Amino acid sequence: METIEKIYDVRKFKAEIKVAAGYQKFLKNQRKTVKLVGKRELEPWMATMKHYHNRQDLAAMYVAYGVMRGKDLDEQMKAHISKRNEYAMSSAKEKVEKLLSKYKLEKVEESA
What DSSP state is assigned to residue 1? Answer: -
Domain ranges of the chain: 20-32+42-102
Q: Rounded mean pLDDT of 41-65? A: 94
Identity (one letter) of the amino acid at 108?
A: V
* pTM over 0.75, yes/no: yes
For residue 112, what pLDDT is reported? Answer: 44
Nearest to 63 by CA among 110, 95, 109, 20: 95
Question: Distance (Å, rounded) from C-alpha 67 to C-alpha 62?
Answer: 9
Question: Distance (Å, rounded) from C-alpha 43 to C-alpha 52?
Answer: 14
For residue 1, what pLDDT is reported? Answer: 41
Q: Rounded mean pLDDT of 79-83? A: 79
For residue 105, what pLDDT is reported? Answer: 84
